[in-house]
Chains A and B, each alone.
Chain A
Amino acid sequence: DTGVSQNPRHKITKRGQNVTFRCDPISEHNRLYWYRQTLGQGPEFLTYFQNEAQLEKSRLLSDRFSAERPKGSFSTLEIQRTEQGDSAMYLCASSIHPPGLPGEQYFGPGTRLTVT
């Protein structure tokens, strides 16, 4: 399977604990995005990378969230001191830039986080 993969698929943690998620993009894709989706809502942008560089980070993202893409391949998203409001599906997507048309993003299956 050459699609976007995410691990783990599910994570249950207690409030106050730290969690880390991993995303492996499609191998030739240089851009990688993180989104968060809650029930009944569209995906909400968190941050994105081009190669190793973090190009944009949402102002909604608190300093408890950090993301890295150290070698321009896989990425990790860490949430420190989790809160119940962090419970959501965390989606990773990748794309090629500059794109041929269309500039679609390919989404992974997501990591569902439940904070108890």
Chain B
Amino acid sequence: GQQVMQIPQYQHVQEGEDFTTYCNSSTTLSNIQWYKQRPGGHPVFLIQLVKSGEVKKQKRLTFQFGEAKKNSSLHITATQTTDVGTYFCAAGGTSYGKLTFGQGTILTVHP
């Protein structure tokens, strides 16, 4: 079945430093979604990427979808303590059915 690998598993940064997490698949993805899960919380949708080479920005967050639609990344500029949590990529099916989640990257931000 479809699998997505996400790295790194953990990232510790000082407040103000940048952060990037990467998501890779061996197969071409129809779309990819990114979710954030705060400690003790549930996944919350951040964004969806559909087009090859797509780049989307949300304030300090930049999301990219690879040209081959096999990889994606999330970059946070100048992290803040409110960015703490686990960031998941999730591969969506062609009919927007199930999501296949990566293992997640746990971000810790030290003030």
Contacts and interface: CB of A to CB of B under 8 A. Distances in A.
Contacts of A98: 96
Given A42-B90, A101-B48, A107 B100 contact: no
A48 to B, nearest CB: 6
A23 interface: no
Contacts of B88: 42-43
Interface string B64-108: 000000000000000000000000101010011111111110000
Interface residues of A, number: 29
B43 interface: yes
Contacts of B48: 101-104
B42 A41 contact: no
Contacts of B44: 107
A104 B45 contact: yes
A72 interface: no
Contacts of A101: 48, 50
B96 A48 contact: no
B6 to A, nearest CB: 8
Given A41-B104, A106-B45, A107-B42, A56 B99 contact: no
B31 A103 contact: yes
